[in-house]
Amino acid sequence: MNYAELIKSILPQVLLASRLINNPEIAPEVRRRNQEILFQEVGSAVYAKTYDMNAFDMNIEYTKGAGLDNRHYGMAKVASDSISNGTEIDAIISSYLVDTAAKAQGDAFKIALQSGQTPMVNRQAIGATTCAWCRGKAGTYEDPDPEVFARHNFCDCKIFTSGYKTRNGLLDNYKKPKK
């Protein structure tokens, strides 16, 4: 399952919210703080959803991942500063969200391996912007290192996971287990 597809469904709203916050009439420190809140909340939601869905696939649904790291501070700084330096941030925000989902996938994978599960990972080089490094990482891994989930800016590679409870690529038949 390529959970980066989830990003496409929320990206327009995140971009709109970031643009609203980046009103040049708002003081820079207020803009930055509001961007921090936006990227922390959205990043946490993306991480949690991606982790839960991977944990379900990998038969470790009662575990919890490490959570979002501090990258939202850097993202907030870049977004806030884009007003003064003219940086186009849409692709950077998209990359931030994809990287957050990849971190959740990697964390779930690490815990699955520690729990004795053996999920599979298929990394695919899809389009014209797939870089040479990702093309070299493309393939199916049965017992990979968690670094197989590493991504970087502006690359369009796809990472699919499957495990004991695969849903044949369908998001709509995922239900979070009740404790």
- Token pair listed for 74: 């850097």
The span from the CA of 69 to the CA of 107, in Å, is 12
Q: Average pLDDT over the chain, rounded to whole? A: 81
- Token pair listed for 132: 């040479």
46, amino acid identity: V
The span from the CA of 7 to the CA of 17, in Å, is 15
Q: State pLDDT tens for residues 102-145.
A: 899 889 888 988 888 777 778 887 776 777 777 787 888 776 77
Q: State pLDDT tens for residues 25-61.
A: 989 999 999 999 999 999 999 999 999 988 888 888 8
